[in-house]
Structure 1
C-alpha cells in the first residue's frame, strides 16, 4: 500500500485535499474588518432581522421538549447589519437545563438581546410540543397528553408591546345532523382546533390550561392517551350527548374566551377531518374585545 495512504492526512490528499494557502488578511479579531458595524445611510430601517428555525431545548412544566425559535431585532437605518452570534449568546445566557418556556423568561431573553444588540426592539416566536398529564375519565389512569403551542412576544424599550399564544389541539366532534336523521348511531370525527389569543402582559400561570380547557370542554369529547373499556364507554356516550358542528364548537369556544380577562382578542379555527366525506369542514372566527 502507498505509504501516503497510511495516515489520515495522506488519505485526505489522495482524495483531493490541499494544504492551506498562506493568507494575507488578519487572523486576530481586533484587526479584522467589521462590516456589520459599518455606519452610514443604508436607506431604510428594518423592522425584524435575525434567525429562524433555531432548535433549542425548552421546559414546559415538568417536561422538557424541543422549541423552534425565531428571534429578531430592529435595525437602525445607519447600521449595515446585526451580529447574529449575539442572538445565540443571549439565549444561552438564560439556559437552565432547557429554557423555561414562559413569557417572563422570554421577556428577559428579549431584553438581553435588545441590550446586547443596542436596538430599540426585539421579538421572538417559539413553537413546541406541550406535554402534560392527562387522566382517563373513569379509571383515572395517568398518561402523557400533548398539544402544539407557540408563544410570541415583542419588547420595545423593555416594555411588552405584543404578546400572543397559539394552541392547536385535537378533539372529537359528533355530527348533530347524523344523530338527528339516523335511526341509530351517528358519525364522528377528529376535529383540529387552533386558537390564537392576544394577551395582556400579565397572565396567570395556568393561562395555557385555561385556553386548552375552552377548546376541549366545548367539543363532543376530549381525547385521551389511554382508555380502558369503562373509559371508552364514557367517552363515546359523552360525545353522543354533546353533538357539535364546527360552527357550534367555534361559537362555544369564543364564548369562553370572551370571559377570560387576560385575553384581549382571538382567532379560532375549527377543522373537522370528516369521516364520511373526502373533504374537511372548517369554520374560522376573529374577535377583538
Structure 2
C-alpha cells in the first residue's frame, strides 16, 4: 500500500497572515464569448483567477483553478462568469473569487467609401468577483482610433500632426450592454475610426474627416465620458485615452472615472 501524499498546502504557514488574492495569472484558454451579430464568437483569452487565503493555510490548490475552467468547456462570458466564481470559491473553500479575462475580439468593418469589408481586431475585457454572495461585474474594451491635434491644425499652413490612439473603457451596468456598444462609443468620440483595410478613396476620406474633427486627448476622454454618462444602463465607468504622439518623444494621456451619482 502506497503511503498517503502529504497535503502541504493545508499545513499552517510560518507567517499567519491572510492573503487577499492568490491564484493563477496569464493562463491562455479557448473561450466562447457573446457576439451581437453572430450570437457567439470563438477566441482565445488570457485568464487571471484568484481567491482569498486564510492565515491558517500555507497555500491554495492551484490545480483546482484549471479544473473549474475545464468544467465550463470554454464558455466564459458575462452571463455565466458569476456561476464560475461561485464554483471556484466553493471548490477552494474561499470567501472571495476573482476573474480577469482579456481576449481579442473581431468585428467585420466596412471601409467608409468603397464599403470593402474586413476583420478589425479589438480587445475585450471581463472583470468579475464574487464575495460571500456579493457580485461585481465589469466589461470593457480597448479600441484603437485616430486623433488629429487641434493646436497643430491652427498654427500650420498645410497640415496637422495626427496619430493612432488607444481608448480603454470599462463599465458597470444595470442591464446587459454589448461590447459593440462600447466600441462604437469610443470610435464616435475620436477624430476618426481606424480600419484594417483602406483603398485610396477610403484613405482620402479618413484623413479629411480627421482634419475636420481635431481632438486633443482631453477632448476624446471627455467625449467618451459624456456618452457613457448618457447611457441609461451604465452605473459606473472608467475611461483612459493614450495618444501615441507622432512628433513627440512621449505619449499624451488622460483618464476619467465616475460613478453616475458623482457626475
TM-score range, shorter chain: 0.7 to 0.9
- More deviation in 263-272 or 253-262? 263-272
Q: Secondary structure at the match of 1:267?
A: strand
Which residue number in structure 2 is paired with residue 234 of structure 1?
A: 205
Aligned equivalents of 2:229 and 2:238: distance in 1?
Answer: 12
Aligned equivalents of 1:87 and 1:69: distance in 2?
Answer: 11
Aligned equivalents of 2:129 and 2:180: distance in 1?
Answer: 23
Residue 110 in structure 1 maps to residue 85 in structure 2: yes
Aligned equivalents of 1:42 and 1:27: distance in 2?
Answer: 32
Residue 271 in structure 1 maps to residue 245 in structure 2: no
Aligned equivalents of 2:152 and 2:184: distance in 1?
Answer: 26
- More deviation in 139-148 or 40-49? 40-49
Residue 54 in structure 1 maps to residue 27 in structure 2: yes
Bigger-Rg structure (1/2): 1
Which residue number in structure 2 is paired with residue 20 of structure 1?
A: none
Which residue number in structure 1 is paired with residue 156 of structure 2?
A: 182
Aligned equivalents of 1:71 and 1:273: distance in 2?
Answer: 31
Equivalent positions of 1:218-229 (< 5 A) are 218-229=189-200
Which residue number in structure 2 is paired with residue 147 of structure 1?
A: 122
Q: CA deviation at 1:71?
A: 0.8
Residue 248 in structure 1 maps to residue 219 in structure 2: yes
Which residue number in structure 1 is paired with residue 60 of structure 2?
A: 82
Residue 70 in structure 1 maps to residue 41 in structure 2: no
CA deviation string 1:255-274 (max 9, x = no partner): 00111233222232222222
Q: Tell me, yes or no, if the aligned pair for 1:134 and 1:224 is still in contact at 8 Å.
A: yes
Partner residue of 1:196 out of 170, 189, 195: 170
Q: Tell me, yes or no, if the aligned pair for 1:42 and 1:78 is still in contact at 8 Å.
A: no
Q: Tell me, yes or no, if the aligned pair for 2:173 and 2:236 is still in contact at 8 Å.
A: no
Q: CA deviation at 1:138?
A: 2.2
CA deviation string 1:215-242 (max 9, x = no partner): 1111110011111222222212211221
Q: Tell me, yes or no, if the aligned pair for 2:145 and 2:193 is still in contact at 8 Å.
A: yes
Q: CA deviation at 1:94?
A: 0.6
Structure 1 201/71 Cα, relative in aligned 2: closer, same or farther at 3 Å?
farther
Q: CA deviation at 1:164?
A: 2.1
Partner residue of 1:261 out of 216, 228, 232: 232
Partner residue of 2:144 out of 170, 173, 176: 170
Which residue number in structure 1 is paired with residue 8 of structure 2?
A: 35
Q: Secondary structure at the match of 2:90?
A: helix
Q: CA deviation at 1:209?
A: 1.4
Structure 1 41/188 Cα, relative in aligned 2: closer, same or farther at 3 Å?
closer
Aligned equivalents of 2:10 and 2:230: distance in 1?
Answer: 49
Which residue number in structure 1 is paired with residue 98 of structure 2?
A: 123
Q: Which runs of 5+ in 1 are unaligned?
A: 1-25
Q: Which runs of 5+ in 2 are unaligned?
A: none
